[in-house]
């Protein structure tokens, strides 16, 4: 019996295809898609909101592959028994909307949800609420309210998976301080250095990369790192850029400054999108925990438990340039380590009266981040970056790492399985994106291209 079937699914075909093809959440989370396809839901939502400043890859993907995205969505709806499909996309994305409308043969079953130009309109809780009017229970997942959400690139991969094609390539935007900002498709495993070269190199003396976006992306200066299935793109900036200086400040300094300078103004809470949606996230109260290191940590940390790490409080709201988002991250880690689960605070789950009025426009956010100079189109190129050495981490998804099934010296083809999904665990397969020879096998498989 196929493994997706063993997991209790009633209609395993697309779930098994997704498992075989190694499809995971392409929006950054990396959750194995076959598991989502094992559920029953009334609504499937395509997340094409793309709300990180400067990122364009989901929009250009929808523009160029609208029919494939819709095919993936409809197949997903059939798999989970949904009668309604919704594609969330910003109203300003005129070309992609036109392409989707032209490709929409499923009148009445699939509809477009036109979103405002706000951050974080792509947050699952926001998107599910916008699409269905339902609020996901605190700490829950969309399925709890009958919805399944897929990133649009995952839907493209699902359409491919249904035809037996595994995940090999990744859509990316590389922008910021590069000679030629671009959106393109690169083989998974390509080193960041090759992406940088493909975009004409850095235009600043000491480049670093924000991987995945300015708000929720991670900072690195290691350009040997590879593209994975969850890499959304790179924003290249100089190490001296104020945004990088903020992100690079060590945690102990963040906490020390926060302890002495937080005046409890509560702007961080008043502009928190999760708080405004009705969830009891109160970062200003979490900040109090910095002053109560030995007592009170548990009490104050609970106010950060439902934080989605969107970064608004740290990078936009706080007038003192403090780090409430990082305090919430610490609080969540503390509660996880202590095994403390969400118990509720008594606040009714109901959107704040100012929920719509306090949305954060992307233009204002881009200005605040000091990224206006880099707010350019990053147009699509159908050329691809080239490299000689490709690295495929066996753990590039949520769950257990894949188990390597190739050996050093072995010749592999493009699309060949390098790692099998771990048995009996949440996991995903890993495939080679290039033909070549296996040069190393450890926590990653390294392939030297022919």
Each residue 323-362 as x (binds ligand SF4 by CB under 6 A) or -, in order, gives -xx--x----------------------------------
Nearer to ligand SF4, 47 or 317 (CB): 317
From 90, 129, 229, 274, residue interacting with ligand SF4 (rule: CB under 6 A): 274
Rule CB under 6 A: say whether 381 interacts with ligand SF4: no
Minimum CB distance to ligand SF4, residue 51 (Å): 13
Cβ of residue 321: shortest distance to ligand SF4, in angstroms?
A: 8
Q: How many residues form the binding site for ligand SF4 (CB under 6 A)?
A: 27
**Quick one: which of 317, 427, 432, 433 contacts ligand SF4 (CB under 6 A)?**
317
Evaluate whether 88 touches 122 at the Cβ level (below 8 Å). Answer: yes
Nearer to ligand SF4 by Cβ, of 93 and 284: the residue is 284
Strands 233-238 and 169-176: parallel
Residue (85 or 324) nearer to ligand SF4, CB: 324
Binding mask 252-271 for ligand SF4 (x = CB under 6 A): ----------xxxxxxx---
SS (H, E, C) the chain: CCHHHHCCCCCCHHHHHHHHHCCECCCCCCCEHHHHCCCCCCEEEEEECCCCCCCCHHHHHHHHCHHHHHHHHHHHHHHHCCCEEEEEEECCCHHHHHHHHHCCCCCCCEEEEEECCEECCCCHHHHHHHHHCCCCCCCCCHHHHCEEEEEHHHHHHHHHHCCCCCCCEEEEEEEECECCCEEEEEECCCEHHHHHHHCCCECCCCEEEEECCCCCCEEECCCCCECCCCCCEEEEEECCCHHHHHHHCCHHHHHHHHHHHCCCCCHHHHCCHHHHHCCCCCHHHHHHHHHCCCCCHHHHHHHHCCCCCCCHHHHHHCCCCCCHHHHHHHHHHHHHHHCCCCCCCCCCCCCCCCCCCCCEEHHHHHHHCCCHHHCCCCCECCCCCCCCEEEEECCCCCCECCEECCCCCCEECCCCEEEECCCCCCECCEECCCCEEEEEECCEEEEEEC
Q: Does 379 bind ligand SF4 (CB under 6 A)?
A: no
CA 12, 156, 426, 30: dihedral to nearest 10 degrees? -160
Closer of 149 and 318 to ligand SF4 (Cβ): 318
Q: Which of 60, 307, 362, 365 binds ligand SF4 (CB under 6 A)?
A: 307
- The least CB distance from residue 445 to ligand SF4, in Å, is 35
Give the C-alpha separation, 236 to 233, whole Å.
10
Per the CB < 8 A criterion, the answer to whether 80 and 186 are in contact is no
Under the criterion CB under 6 A, does residue 313 sit at the interface with ligand SF4?
Answer: yes
Q: State the minimum distance, in angstroms, from the CB of residue 255 to ligand SF4.
A: 12
69 touching ligand SF4, by CB under 6 A = no
Minimum CB separation from ligand SF4 for residue 361, in Å?
15
For ligand SF4, which residue of 110, 148, 208, 272 counts as binding (CB under 6 A)? Answer: 272
312 in contact with ligand SF4 (CB under 6 A)? yes
CB of 276 to ligand SF4, least distance (A): 9
Distance in Å, CB of 185 to ligand SF4, minimum: 31
Q: Does residue number 278 form part of the binding site for ligand SF4 (CB under 6 A)?
A: no
To ligand SF4, the closest distance from the beta carbon of 324 in angstroms equals: 4
* Contact residue for ligand SF4 among 309, 345, 381, 384 (CB under 6 A): 309
Residue 281 as a binder of ligand SF4 (CB under 6 A): the answer is yes
CB of 218 to ligand SF4, least distance (A): 15
Instruction: Report, in Å, the least distance between residue 291 CB and ligand SF4.
Output: 11
Q: Give the footprint of ligand SF4 on this chain (CB under 6 A).
A: 262-268, 272, 274, 281, 283-284, 287, 307-313, 317-318, 320, 322, 324-325, 328
């Amino acid at each position: 019996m196929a493994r997706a079937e063993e997991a209790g699914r009633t209609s395993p075909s697309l779930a098994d295809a997704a498992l075989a093809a190694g499809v995971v959440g392409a929006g950054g989370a990396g959750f194995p898609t076959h598991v989502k396809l094992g559920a029953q839901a009334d609504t499937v939502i395509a997340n094409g909101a793309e709300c990180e400043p400067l990122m364009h890859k989901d929009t250009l993907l929808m523009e160029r592959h609208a029919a494939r995205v819709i095919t993936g969505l409809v197949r997903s709806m059939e798999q989970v028994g949904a009668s309604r499909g919704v594609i969330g996309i910003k109203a300003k994305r005129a070309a992609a909307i036109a392409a989707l409308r032209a490709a929409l043969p499923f009148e009445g079953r699939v509809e477009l949800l036109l979103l405002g130009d706000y951050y974080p309109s792509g947050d699952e809780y926001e998107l599910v609420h916008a699409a269905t009017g339902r609020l996901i229970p605190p700490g829950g997942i969309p399925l709890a309210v009958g919805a399944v959400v897929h990133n649009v690139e995952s839907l493209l991969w699902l359409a491919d998976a249904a035809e037996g094609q595994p995940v090999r390539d990744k859509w990316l935007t590389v922008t910021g301080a590069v000679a030629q900002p671009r959106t393109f498709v690169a083989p998974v495993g390509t080193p960041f250095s090759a992406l940088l070269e493909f975009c004409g190199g850095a235009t600043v003396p000491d480049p670093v990369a924000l991987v995945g976006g300015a708000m929720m992306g991670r900072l690195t200066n290691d350009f040997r790192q590879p593209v994975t299935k969850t890499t959304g793109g790179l924003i290249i900036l100089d190490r001296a850029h104020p945004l990088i200086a903020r992100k690079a400040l060590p945690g102990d300094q963040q906490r020390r400054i926060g302890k002495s300078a937080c005046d409890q103004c509560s702007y961080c809470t008043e502009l928190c999108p999760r708080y405004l949606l009705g969830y009891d996230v109160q970062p200003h109260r979490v900040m109090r925990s910095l002053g109560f290191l030995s007592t009170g940590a548990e009490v104050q940390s609970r106010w950060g438990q439902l934080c989605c790490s969107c970064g608004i409080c740290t990078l936009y709201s706080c007038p003192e340039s403090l780090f409430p988002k990082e305090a919430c991250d610490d609080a969540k880690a503390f509660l996880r380590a202590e095994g403390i689960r969400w118990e509720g605070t008594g606040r009714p789950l109901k959107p704040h009266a100012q929920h719509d009025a306090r949305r954060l426009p992307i233009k204002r956010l881009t200005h605040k981040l000091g990224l206006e100079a880099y707010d350019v189109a990053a147009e699509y190129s159908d050329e691809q970056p080239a490299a000689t050495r490709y690295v495929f981490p066996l753990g590039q998804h949520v769950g257990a790492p894949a188990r390597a099934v190739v050996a050093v010296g072995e010749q592999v083809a493009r699309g060949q399985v390098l790692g099998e999904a771990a048995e009996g665990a949440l996991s995903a397969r890993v495939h080679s994106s290039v033909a070549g020879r296996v040069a190393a096998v450890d926590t990653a498989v390294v392939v030297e291209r022919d």
